Amino acid sequence: MDYLPATLFIGLGATAVMDFWGLVRQRLFSIAPPNYALVGRWVGHMPRGRFHHAAIATAAPLRGERALGWAVHYLTGVAFAALLVSLNGAAWLAQPSLGPALALGIATVAAPFLLMQPGMGAGIAASRTARPATARLQSLITHAVFGGGLFAAAKVAQLIALS
């Protein structure tokens, strides 16, 4: 199996699974999905030298921020898939197992806790939000779902490669 196409497929697939979970979560629990336009706003301000905001929602909106945010979201998923594949190699691609994918998925919660949330004004691990414990739990669950998506997408990639 070729690494690049497999990694792209796994990353895009896992991110789509995570987004599907967001829709399910919204329908079942009335929890709004993430607003990736705000991610685009945060990243879009970086070339202007602005890496931290007191509250990203109050920062100046940028043209194309929604598209940029969604692109960053999916590219991040591909980057995490590349990390999974690089750590586990061809043997894992040929025979994907849940453990490494789930462990990496859960570990990826460090990115929003330590980078995105502080940079966007929510504090480390959502400490400056109205309900930090709830936000942390939702992030952890979502990243575990992403890990499950890494495994599921790798299994689909394996089946496609075998056919």
- Total structural domains within the chain: 1
Structural domain boundaries, residue 151: 3-162
Confirm if 96 and 37 have CB atoms less than 8 A apart: no
Closest CA to 84 of 93, 75, 72: 93
For residue 1, pLDDT beyond 70: no
Q: Give per-residue pLDDT as tens, 119-136.
A: 999 999 999 999 999 999
* Average pLDDT, integer, range 9-14: 98
Give the contacts of 15 (CB within 8 A, at least 6 positions apart): 73, 74, 76, 77, 78, 146, 149
Mean pLDDT score of the chain: 96
C-alpha 150/C-alpha 77 separation (Å) is 9
Secondary-structure percent of the chain, ordered helix, strand, coil, rounded to 5: 80, 0, 20
